[in-house]
Amino acid sequence: MSGYNSDGFMDEDYDDDAFEYSEEEEEFGHNAIIGNSAGASQLNNESQTETQPGVSADGPFYENDLLDDTGDFEPVLGSIKKKKAWEVDYMIYDPEELRAKQVNIAARMEPLLGISKEATRLLLRHYFWKEENLIEDYLSDSERTLAKAGLTAYPPPPELKSGDENFSCAICYTDGADESYLALTCGHRFCSDCYRTYVTGKVLEGDSWRIHCPAPKCKVLLGITASRLLLAQDNTVMERYEENLTRSFVNDLDTFAWCPAPNCEYAIECHVPRTAWATTIPVVECKCGNSFCFGCKFDNHLPAPCYMVSRWLQKCKDDSETSNWIKVNTKECVKCKSTIEKNGGCNHMTCRDCHYEFCWICMGPWSEHGQQFYNCNRFNEDSSKEARESISKTRQSLERYIHYFTRYNNHEQSAKLARKLLATTEKNMEQMQRELALSWIEVQFLRDAVDVLSVCRSTLKWTYVLAYYMVADNQKIIFEDNQSDLEMATEQLNGLVEDPIGQDTVDDIKRKIMDKSTYVKTRWETLLRDITTGLQENRWQFETL
C-alpha cells in the first residue's frame, strides 16, 4: 500500500521530525483527505482487507477506506481536528490518482468476474462503474451481459497481422499480403492505417473506450489495449485518449466531479447522496483553492441548500432589471396607487394625481408629522402602519424580495471589495512593517482578518436567500438574531481592517482586530452550526418551492 500521507510527504522523510509532520496535518485541515498517491497502482488486495484505520504499520492511508462506498469513511490521519457540523467528507484526486483509482477498481473486480482484465475494464465502464449492478447482471447471465456490452470474456490480445494475400481493407480498398491489418473478435479486418485514422478521429472527438469496430452496425468494442496499440506512435493522441478515459470515469460516476475552476485538473470524490442535498450542503474545497458545492457545482453557497440557490438565482435572473428599478426607485401613492419616483426634495410628498399628502419615509399621512419636516421617526405609528399595510400585496412581495436581494447583493459586492481590501491591507501591512519596525509575522493578523471577512460575507450573503424563503415564525426570529449578530460583528471588523492605523497604538489596534476576528469567527461557526442542525431537524418552515 501506499506509504504517503495526504500531503504527499513520505512517512520516512519525516520520521525524525515528527513535530513538524503533525503540524502539517493540522495545517491542511480535517476532512480534506487528499487522495493517495500513485503508489496505489500496485494494488494489493490482501493487505487491503486486513488493514484497519490506525493500527496498521502500512502508513496512515488505506485504500479500502477509499473504496468503501458507504460514504462515511473514517478520517484516517492521526491528529485530526473534529469535523465541523457543516463539513462533509470528500477526497481530492489529481489525474494520476484518478488513473490509479480506475486500475484499483478494475483489479478488485477482475477476480470476482473471472474474466480478462481488458473485459473487466470495459464492462465496468459499460456499467458506469456501478459494481453491484454489474455483478448482479453478470451472475444472472454472463454471456448476455458481455454480448450487450460488445465484449468477449477472453479476447485474444490484439495484434497487427499481415501476410494474407486475400486481405482487402474495406475502407481504403488496399489489398495484398504486405498490408498489416487488425481484426477484433468479430473478424472484420481493416488495414492498420485506416484503423489508426479512424481511432484518432474518434479520440479527437472525445471518445475513448466506446470506440467500436468500424464495420457497419458492428458493436464489438475496440478495447483499451488495442487502442493503445494503434496510437502508440502518436503521443499527443495517446495522451488525449488517456485523458478521455479519465474524463469518462469522472463523468460517469455520480460520486465524482471535476473542480469547476478554470484550468484545474483535480477531481473530487464526495459521497453525500443527492437525497441529502436539501439539508446538507456538500461544500468541498479543491487543492487549487476553489471552494464549491459538489451538488450543483456552483460557488460555495453555505448555508443555503442547492435547490434554494438555483431557485434564487433563477429569480434574480427573471425579475427584470426594470421591475427592480421601479421597486427601488419608486413608491405607490397610498391612496390612488399611482407610481411615484422621488427625484429630489424633502420627504413631504404630494401626489400629483390625487393630491394626497404623505411622508416618503413612513408612507403615513403628512398631517400627523407636525413640524418635523426633514425627519421622520413615526415609522411605527399606527396610522403609518395602516398606510403601509394598504400598499398592494404584489408590491409587498416584491418589496420583500428587494429587501433580501439588496442585502444579498450588498454582501456579494462587499465580497468583491474584499479582494480590493486585500491589496490595501497588504499595503497597510508593509507600511506598518516599515513605520513601526514590526516583523512580517507580526502584521499577518491583518491578512487573517481579511480572510475571515470574506468567508463571513459569503455566508451572510446566502443566509439572506435562506431567510427569503423561510416562513416567518419564532424560529426565524432566532435565526435572524444570529444572522444580525454576525453581520454586525462583520461590519465592525470590516471597519477596523479598512483603517487600521488611527489614533490607537499598534498594540491596541492589533489586539482589537485580533479580538474582533476571533469573535466574528466564533459567531460564524455558531451560525453555521445552528443552521446545519436546524436544517437537519426541519426546524424552519420554507415556502413551498
Partner 1 sequence: MLTALSTKRLMRELNQLIKNPPSSHVRLLSHETLDKWKIQIIGADETLYADEKYILQFKFPNDYPLESPEVVFVGDCVPVHPHIYSNGHICLSILYQQWSPALTAEAVCISILSMLSSCTQKKPPKRDAIYVKRTKTASPKKTSWRFDDDNV
* Residues making contact with partner 1 (CB under 8 A): 170-174, 188, 190, 193-194, 197-198, 201, 214-218
Active site residue 346: yes
Rounded distance between C-alpha atoms, residue 83 and residue 30, angstroms: 6
Based on CB atoms, which residue is closest to partner 1, 180 or 197?
Answer: 197
Closest by CA to 428, choosing from 413, 450, 411, is 450
Q: What are phi and psi of 242, to 5 degrees?
A: -60, -40
Q: Which residues contact 227 (CB under 8 A, 6 or more apart)?
A: 199, 203, 208, 209, 211, 241
Question: Of 190 and 312, which has the nearer Cβ to partner 1?
Answer: 190
Question: Of 129 and 190, which has the nearer Cβ to partner 1?
Answer: 190
Distance from the Cα of residue 244 to its chain's centroid? 22
Distance (Å) of CA 10 to CA 14, 64, 91, 94, 283: 7, 19, 19, 17, 29
| For partner 1, the closer CB: 191 or 349 | 191
Query: Where are any strands of DSSP class E within 310-403?
Result: 330-332, 339-341, 348-350, 357-359
Of 90 and 195, CB closest to partner 1: 195
Residue type, 23: E
Terminal alpha carbon distance of the chain? 48
Smallest gap, in angstroms, from Cβ of residue 213 to partner 1?
9
Q: How many degrees, rounded to 5, is the angle at CA 215 between CA 213 and CA 218?
A: 65
| Other C-beta atoms lying within 10 Å of the C-beta of residue 195 | 26
| Chain mean position to CA 437 | 42
One of 169, 264, 270, 346 is an active-site residue; which one? Answer: 346
Q: Please give the full DSSP string across 356-403, using - where no structure is assigned.
A: -EEETTT-SBGGGGTT-TT----TTSHHHHHHHHTS-HHHHHHHHHHH
Q: Least distance from C-beta 209 to partner 1, angstroms?
A: 18
Choice between 93 and 190, CB closer to partner 1: 190
CB of 169 to partner 1, least distance (A): 9
Residue closer to partner 1 by CB (options 202, 523) is 202
Select 157 or 201, whichever has its Cβ closest to partner 1. 201
**R_g of the chain computed on alpha carbons:** 32
Kindly report the number of other CB atoms within 10 A of residue 441's CB atom: 7
77 alpha-carbon distance from chain centroid: 23
In the complex, least distance from residue 444 CB atom to partner 1, rounded to whole angstroms: 57
**Comparing C-alpha atoms, which of 398, 418, 439 is closest to residue 498?**
418
Residues 6+ apart with CB under 8 A from 5: 11, 25, 59, 60, 61, 77
Longest Cα–Cα distance of the chain, Å, equals 111
Residue 477, H or E segment:
helix 474-498
Instruction: Give the span between the Cα atoms of 146 and 439, in whole angstroms.
Output: 68
Q: How far is the CB of 275 from partner 1 (least distance, A)?
A: 33
Q: What are the catalytic residues? A: 346
